[in-house]
Amino acid sequence: MDEIRHWHRRNFLRAGGLGYLGMSLPQYLRAAAAKEAAGAATAGRAQSCILVWLSGGPPHMDTWDPKPNSNFKAISTNTAGIQISELFPRVAKLMDKLSIIRSMHTEENNHPEGTYYGMTGHRPNPTMRFPSFGSIIGKELGSRNDVPPYVVTPPQSYPHSYNAGFIGPQYDPMVTPDPNQEDFKIPDLTLPKSLTRELIETRLAFLKVVDKRVRDKERFAEFASMDAYQEQALRMILAPNVRKAFDLTMEPPKDRDAYGRSRFGQSMLLARRLVEAGCRFVTAEGYEHSEWDTHFKNDEILRRDLAPKLDQALSVLVSDLDQRGLLKTTVVVVMGEFGRTPNINPEGGRDHYANCWSLLIGGGGIRGGTVVGSSDETAANVASRMVTQGDLFATIYKAMGIDPAKIYLAPGGRPIYIANSIGDKRGSPVEELL
Amino acid sequence: MKIRLVLCAAGIHAALAAAPPVPPAKVVSLRVIPADPTLRGAGTAVRFLAMAKYADGVERDVTAQAEPTLSDPEVAAVGDGNRIIAKADGEVLLRAKFGGRIAQTRVKVVQADKPRPFSFAREVGGILTKKGCNTSECHGGVKGQGGLKLSVNATQPKDDHHYIVKGGVFQVLTTESGGPAVPRVDTKEPEKSLLLLKPAMQVPHGGGQRFTKGSPDYDRLLGWIRQGAPFGEESTEAAVRTESVEVLPGETILDANGRQQLVVLAKLSDGTVEDVTSEASYSVSDVHVAKLTPDGLATALQPGETAIVVRAAGHAVSKMVSVMSKPAPDYPAIKSHNYIDDHILAKLRKLNIVPSGLSGDAEFLRRVCLDLTGTLPPPARVREFLASKNPRKREQLIDALLDSPEFVEFWSFRLGEILRYRQRSTQLMKDTQLYGEWIRESVASNKPFDRIVRERIAAEGYAGPSRYYYELRFLAEPPEIIAEQTRLFLGRRIECARCHNHPFESWSQDQFWGLAAFYGSMVDLRNTVMDDSVVIDAPEAAAKVIHPRTKKTAEPRFLDGTPLAKEARDDPRRRLAEWVTGHPYFAETLANRAWDWFFGRGIVEPVDDFRSTNPATHPELLAAMAKDIREHGFDLKYLMKLIVSSRTYQTSGVPNETNSGDRTNWSHVVPKALDAAVLMDAIAAVTGVKEELKEGPMGVPASARAIEICPDLFSNKFLQAYGQNDRATLPEAKPQPGLAQALHMITGPTYSTRMLDDGGRIDRLARAGVTNRQAIEELYLTALARFPERAEVDQLDALMRSGASRKEVIFSLMWALVSSREFAYRH
C-alpha cells in the first residue's frame, strides 16, 4: 500500500512540474529530450536485459551440457575446456562472451507452472500473484528515453506469468504482435490514419475544458499520475526515437535476413533495437507456444528446425550487440521453463525435467567463457554448485545495479524477496560470474 | 443551509448528530484510569491518567494538572512520574481534581510481601522485543537469522525459550531443527552466552550492537542465565499469564499541539495488571501526523490520522490516533439520515472537520447509478430526475435501481469477482456456466448472503457452487481453499500459517491445518463417460490432509481449537459453513466489504486484512453495521439501501477547507476509478458503438455488455489495460492509472476509429444537423449525467467553430468527454 502511495507521490511531483496538460507538444518533446540527456547511463553497469525464452523447455544434454546420452556430438568452442552440442557451431565461436550454468534446479515440471516459476521464482498460489522479474526490473530501473521499460515480443503463452502481479498492472509488459509479420507495427504506438499531431492538439484543448471542473475541485493524486502517463504516452507516440525503435523496416534487409526471417529471428532483432533505444527488459519469445516441447522426435526436430534458428539468431544477436558496444550493458539470458529427461521415450522424444538443466548467460558485465556447476553422467542430477531460479535473478539484479536482497511487501505485509529461491529463501548472486 | 428533511428514507431514524459549537473551555466530566486496578507485589508501579472530557466531546490528558491524592498512604504512594506504587496489601482511593470536577479510582494491592514472579515472556521476551531482536526482518523471520529463531514480538514464548536454551531453527517441512543446534545460553559460564556476547558486540553480530555490557538489559539477561535460564511459572498449569494488552485511553484525539501519555497495561490471568508502557515497542504508520517516545508519550505533529501499533508481552494492539484541525468557528449542524451518519458525523465533529454539503441531484444520480447498477443513466433519465420536484425522488430512485435488471447484472459481476467466476482454459464450459448461473440466481432472488456462503462452502453434487472447487479440472487443495475462504468470508489472512505460525498474529500452524482438514473429505466422482465431475464429502474415501511438519493426519478443528465431533465428521463442510456464517467475523467482514463497494475504501483497509495491527477507522460503526446486517438476515439489498441512503454516501465530492486532506473519515466523497468493464460499457453507451468483445472459449453473445462476460485466459486488451481482475486470485488491487491506458486513449480503437462507426452517436448527431450547443448538451448528459456549465458551453463552442468537419469536431468533443477524469471516475 505504502509502495503505491509513495509511487503516486513521485508521479504527482513530476506531473506538478509539467502542469496538467499545460504544455504544447513542442514543449513535451523538449522536456523529453532534456530528460533523455539527464538520464545518461551509469558506466559499467548493465542497463538492459534480453531474455531469450525457449518455450517448451530445451533438452540440456542436447544443447549446453553434452552427455553420452545425447545423440549429438560435443564440439569444442573458442574457449578452452568448454564443449557444447554440435547443433550450435556459431554459438561455439562466441563462447568467450557467454557462460553456461549447468546446475539449474527448479521445482515445476509443467508448462503453465514452469513458465510462471521461470518468470517469478514462485510456484503458483491462488491467494497471491507474484511479479515477474521483468516487471521488477522495469519498476526498479524505470523507463529510459521514454521507451517502455518492459516489452514482450511476440505474444506469450501464459500471459499472467509475465505480468506484474501484486506490484500493479502499471508494471505489466507491453506485448507486441509477431515482428515477422508483413505489416508489423505496435497498435499502441501507431496513430490511426485519421489522427494527426494537430488533431491530437485540438483534442487535448477540448479535454482541458472538459476536465477543468473536476480538477478545480481537488488535487487528486491518481489524476496527477494519469497526467504523467498521458505526457509520457504522447512523447512515446510523437517522439521519433520510440517509434523508430519498433520499426524493423529501418533495419537494412541484409541485417534482417542475418537474424533469420522467422518469428524468432525478428523478435531477437527487435530486442536488440529496443535495448539500443533504452528498453530495460525484453523477452524475445519468438518460438511458437511450446515449440521446444519435444515429446516426439526430439532429435529430428532439434536438428531440422529448433537449433538452427537459435544458433543463427543468438550468434547474430551477441555479435551485433558486441559490435554496437551494447553487450557490456546488456545481460543476455537464454533459457526455457525447464530441461528435458535424460532418457529418450518410445516416441523418440524427451519429456519435462526440472531437476537439473542448463542455461546460457552473458553480457552486461557478466563474465563469459565460464561454466558454473555441473551435472552427473546423464545430466539427471546436479553434481555440483546448484543454482536456483532465485540465484539467477539475484545475479541479473546485481549486474543491473539492483539490490538482490531487496524485499517487497506483498498485500498482508508478507515480505517477498525479489530474488526468491527454493523454500522462500533469498537467492544469492552467482558471484563467479560477476 | 439547505437541509433536505424530506429525503430521509422512511423507517430510518433521523437525529442531530453534531453538537452546536461551544467553546471547549468547559469540562463536562473527569475520569481517572485505569479503572480499579489490582496490583501484585510491593514496588509494582502503574501509570495513571486523568482524562477530562470537554464540551466538544473530546477527552484531553490533564494528568499533569490533576493534583492526585491517595486516601491511605500506607497502601500505596504516588510518584515517579504519575505512577501509583504498591506498598502493602489493601485498598486505596486515588483522587484527581481538575476543572471543578473530581474523579477517583480504587487501587487494590495484593501479595505485597512476595516478589513479583518471574515470567520469561515478559522479562526476556520484553527485552528482545524492545531491542528489535525479534522483528520479522531479523531473528523473527520465519527461519530466524544466523541460526537463532525467535517469534515476532515474543508471541510464542515457549518456542523462544526452546530456541534460546536448546538452539536450532524452525523448519517449514519438518519438526527437526535445521543444522546444528547451538544453545544461546551457557549456564556454566553465563558471561560466555551468545545471548549476551552477540548483542553487546563482544563477538561479531550481524544485527550490530543492541546494548552494552553492564547495561540494565544486559544485567537482567545475565541474571536470568545465572539462575539457570528458567521459563518461569508460566510453564505450570496454575501459572499467571498475560491474557491481553490494553492501551489507554481508548479513543485518542489530540489538539493541534496536543500530547497524550499512553498507558500500556498487560492484563494477567489472575486479574492483576502490569504497566508495560516502557517495555513496549511502538510504531507509527504515518510519522507526519504524530510521534511517540519510547515511553509512550504521543505528540501531535499535523492534522490527520495515523495507526499506531503497540507490541508488548507477546501481544500486539493497534489503534488510531487522530490530530484535529484547528477549531471551525461555526461548525454547522448536520442532519443525520441514519445511524451510519451518527457515527461518521460524531467523529468528524471531534476532529473539527466539517463534512462537505449534500451532493447535488446530478452528482448523486450518476454516483448511485454507477454504484448500484454499473450503468450510466441515459440522458432522458437525467433530465427527468433533475426536473422532478418530488421530495422523495432520491429514495424512489434507489428503490427503482435496486429492483432493476441492471442491478442483477452488475451485482452478478461484483459477486463474480469475489467468488471467482471465471473460465479456465482446461475446464468444461458447463462447469463455468453452472457456477455463473448460481451466482446470478442468488443475486436475482436477493438470496441472504449467509445462505450464499453456506451453499458455496458446503456445495455437493452437480449444483453450481460445487464448481468452484475445480481448478484445472482437479479438486483444489484444501490449504488453498481454506486460505481463500477465510480471507473472503472472515476477513483474515491466515495463509502465512500454512507453513509457520503467523508472524504478526496469533494464528498458529496447527489452527491453519485444523481448518484445512474440513476440506479433507472431498472426493471427485469423475464420470468419464459424460466427462463430468461431481464433488461429495466421503471421509473414508478421501485423501487425508497431512500436517506438513508433524506428518500426521490433521483433524478438523475450529479456530478456537475445538475438534469437530466424531459424529459430525460425515459432513464436515456443512458444519464449517454453519460455523463460518455464525461467526462474528463473518458479519463484520461483509459490512466492511459493502462499505468498500460504495466508498472505495474499507473501514478496515484492505477489506480482507483484519488484524490486531491494522485498526479500523470507525470500529463502533462497523460493529453496529455488523449487528444490523445480522439482524436483517444478511439481506444485501437492505445493507446497500442503508448505505446509499445515508447522508455520508450522499455527501458532495467537493471538499472544503477543513476536509480536503481527509481520506479516512468520509467527510466528502472521494473519486473512485470505474472498473475496467464498467468503463468499457460506459464508453459504449456514449459512443453508441458496441465494443467488439473477443470471443474466448465461452463465446460472447453480440449484445453482451463487458460486465456480463466471464474473464478467461484470453482477456480483452482494453480490459487488461484498465486492470480487469482476471479472477485467478481474489481481487488484490484497485484500478490504477497506467501507461497502457494513456496510450490506448490516444491510439486505441475504443477511443478512435470505432467512435466514428456508422450508426454511432457521432454519425447520428452529424446527420441530424445539431448545433454545437445541442451536441454539447447531449454529450454532457450522456457521459457526465449533468448539464454543461455556461463557461463550458462557450469555450467548447468556440473550439468547435474552428474545426474542419462536423463529424470531426463532435468526435473531438466526445473524445475529450470519455477521456476525462470526470468520466473515468465515479465522483
Q: Can you tell me the mean pLDDT for B806-826? A: 94
pLDDT of residue B417: 93
> Angle at CA B202, nearest 5°, toward B199 and B208?
40
- Mean pLDDT score of chain A: 88
CA A9 – CA A225 distance, rounded (Å): 8
Q: In chain B, what residues touch A174 (CB-CB under 8 Å)?
A: 740
Nearest residue in B to A414, CA atom: B496
Max mean pLDDT among B18-22, B148-152, B224-228 falls in B224-228
pLDDT of residue B60: 93
pLDDT of residue A3: 36
Cβ separation B822–A129 shorter than 8 A = no
Q: Which of A50-64, B9-23, B184-198 has the lowest mean pLDDT?
A: B9-23
Residues 105-164 of B with CB under 8 A from A: 136-137, 142-143
Q: How confident is the model at residue B23 (pLDDT cuts 50, 70, 90)?
A: very low
Q: Are A352 and A343 in contact (CB under 8 A)?
A: no
pLDDT of residue A44: 38
> Taking the complete model, does pTM exceed 0.95, yes or no?
no
Phi, psi of B247 (to 5 degrees): -110, 125
- Give the DSSP H/E element, type plus range, for residue B102: strand B101-110
Cβ separation B739–A412 shorter than 8 A = no
pLDDT, tens digit (0-9, with 9 covering 90-100), for B64-94: 998 899 999 999 999 878 999 999 999 999 9
Residue A402 reports pLDDT greater than 90? yes
Q: Side chain identity at B805, as an amino acid letter?
A: S
Q: In chain A, what residues touch B741 (CB-CB under 8 Å)?
A: 226, 229
Q: How far is A227 from chain B (nearest CA, A)?
A: 9
DSSP string, B160-189: HHHHHHH-B---SS-SSPSS----S--SSS
Cβ separation B496–A414 shorter than 8 A = yes
Q: Which of A412-421, B571-580, B635-644 has the lowest mean pLDDT?
A: A412-421
The verdict on B793 touching A (C-beta cutoff 8 Å) is: no
C-alpha cell at position A347: 516416441
Q: In chain B, what residues touch A209 (CB-CB under 8 Å)?
A: 792, 795-796, 799, 816
Of B471, B746, B756, the CB nearest to A237: B746
Share of chain B above pLDDT 70, in %: 92
> Angle at CA B501, nearest 5°, toward B495 and B505?
80
Q: How confident is the model at residue B529 (pLDDT cuts 50, 70, 90)?
A: confident
Q: How far is A416 from chain B (nearest CA, A)?
A: 11
Is residue A421 classed as helix, strand or coil in its secondary structure? strand
Q: Can you tell me the mean pLDDT for A383-412? A: 94
Cβ separation B606–A159 shorter than 8 A = no
DSSP string, B496-548: GGGTSS-SSSS--HHHHHHHHGGGTTEEEEEETTTTEEEEEE-TTTSPPPB-T
Q: Name the residue with higher pLDDT: B117 or B140.
A: B140
Q: In chain A, what residues touch B803 (CB-CB under 8 Å)?
A: 202
Of B743, B789, B821, the CB nearest to A188: B743
Q: CATH 2.60.40.10 in chain B, residues? A: 27-116
Has the ipTM of the complex gone over 0.85?
Answer: no
Q: How far is B815 from chain A (nearest CA, A)?
A: 7
Nearest residue in B to A1, CA atom: B606
pLDDT, tens digit (0-9, with 9 covering 90-100), for B41-71: 888 899 999 999 998 888 999 999 988 999 9
Cβ separation B742–A233 shorter than 8 A = yes
Q: How confident is the model at residue A20 (pLDDT cuts 50, 70, 90)?
A: very low
Q: How confident is the model at residue A13 (pLDDT cuts 50, 70, 90)?
A: very low
C-alpha cell at position B635: 439481506
Q: How confident is the model at residue A157 (pLDDT cuts 50, 70, 90)?
A: confident
DSSP string, B435-473: HHHHHHHHHHTT--HHHHHHHHHT--BTSGGGGGGEETT
Cβ separation B816–A209 shorter than 8 A = yes
Q: Name the residue with higher pLDDT: A33 or A262.
A: A262
Residues 6+ apart with CB under 8 A from B382: B362, B365, B781, B785, B786
The verdict on B799 touching A (C-beta cutoff 8 Å) is: yes
Q: Which of A110-114, A118-122, A410-414, B416-420 has the lowest mean pLDDT?
A: A410-414
Q: Name the residue with higher pLDDT: B760 or B12.
A: B760
Instruction: Check residue A403 and report its DSSP letter.
Output: -
Residues 316-375 of B with CB under 8 A from A: none
Cβ separation B733–A169 shorter than 8 A = yes
pLDDT of residue B698: 52
Q: In chain A, what residues touch B739 (CB-CB under 8 Å)?
A: 148, 170, 229, 232-233
Q: How confident is the model at residue A138 (pLDDT cuts 50, 70, 90)?
A: very high
- For chain A, the structural domain boundaries read 41-185+247-433
Q: Name the residue with higher pLDDT: B251 or B402.
A: B402
Residue B247: beta bridge partners? B264
Cβ separation A207–B815 shorter than 8 A = yes
- Mean pLDDT score of chain B: 87
Bridge-based pairing of strands A150-153 and A174-175 is parallel
The verdict on B767 touching A (C-beta cutoff 8 Å) is: no
Q: Name the residue with higher pLDDT: B177 or B419.
A: B419
**A/B interface, count of CB pairs below 8 Å:** 179
Instruction: Check residue A386 and report its DSSP letter.
Output: -
Nearest residue in B to A219, CA atom: B660
pLDDT of residue B238: 59
Q: Which of A64-78, A144-158, B367-381, B620-634 has the lowest mean pLDDT?
A: A144-158
- Buried b / exposed e across B452-489, counting CB within 10 Å, b at 16+? bbbbbbbbbeeebbbbbbbbeeebbebbbbbbbbbbbb
Cβ separation A192–B752 shorter than 8 A = yes
Indicate the CATH number for domain A41-185+247-433: 3.40.720.10
> Would you report the helix, strand and coil content of chain A in percent, each value rounded to 5?
45, 15, 40
Q: Can you tell me the mean pLDDT for B621-633? A: 98
Q: How confident is the model at residue A7 (pLDDT cuts 50, 70, 90)?
A: very low
Q: How far is A6 from chain B (nearest CA, A)?
A: 12
Q: How confident is the model at residue A23 (pLDDT cuts 50, 70, 90)?
A: very low
Residues 158-217 of B with CB under 8 A from A: 172
Is residue B93 classed as helix, strand or coil in its secondary structure? strand
C-alpha cell at position A320: 551485433
Residue B164 reports pLDDT greater than 60? yes
Q: Can you tell me the mean pLDDT for A139-149? A: 92
Q: How confident is the model at residue B597 (pLDDT cuts 50, 70, 90)?
A: very high
Q: Name the residue with higher pLDDT: A169 or B565.
A: B565
> Would you report the helix, strand and coil content of chain B in percent, each value rounded to 5?
35, 15, 45
Share of chain A above pLDDT 90, in %: 67
Q: Name the residue with higher pLDDT: B351 or A18.
A: B351
CA A285 – CA A152 distance, rounded (Å): 7
- Pick the closest to residue B145 from B132, B128, B133, B158 (CA basis): B133
Q: Can you tell me the mean pLDDT for B648-667? A: 92
Cβ separation B812–A206 shorter than 8 A = yes
Q: How far is B79 from chain A (nearest CA, A)?
A: 41
Q: Can you tell me the mean pLDDT for A51-74? A: 97
Interface probe for B, chosen from A107, A146, A206, A219 (most Cβ of B below 10 Å), is: A206
Q: Are B248 and B280 in contact (CB under 8 A)?
A: no
> Angle at CA B339, nearest 5°, toward B335 and B342?
55
Q: How confident is the model at residue B298 (pLDDT cuts 50, 70, 90)?
A: very high
Residues 419-478 of B with CB under 8 A from A: 471, 476
Q: Side chain identity at B347, as an amino acid letter?
A: K
C-alpha cell at position A252: 537494412
- Pick the closest to residue B705 from B682, B723, B724, B735 (CA basis): B682
Regarding the domain with residue range B27-116, which homologous superfamily does it belong to in the CATH classification?
A: Immunoglobulins (2.60.40.10)
CA B50 – CA B16 distance, rounded (Å): 30
pLDDT, tens digit (0-9, with 9 covering 90-100), for A279-326: 999 999 989 888 999 999 999 999 999 999 999 999 999 999 999 999
CA A361 – CA A391 distance, rounded (Å): 13
Q: Name the residue with higher pLDDT: B645 or B150.
A: B645
The verdict on B789 touching A (C-beta cutoff 8 Å) is: yes
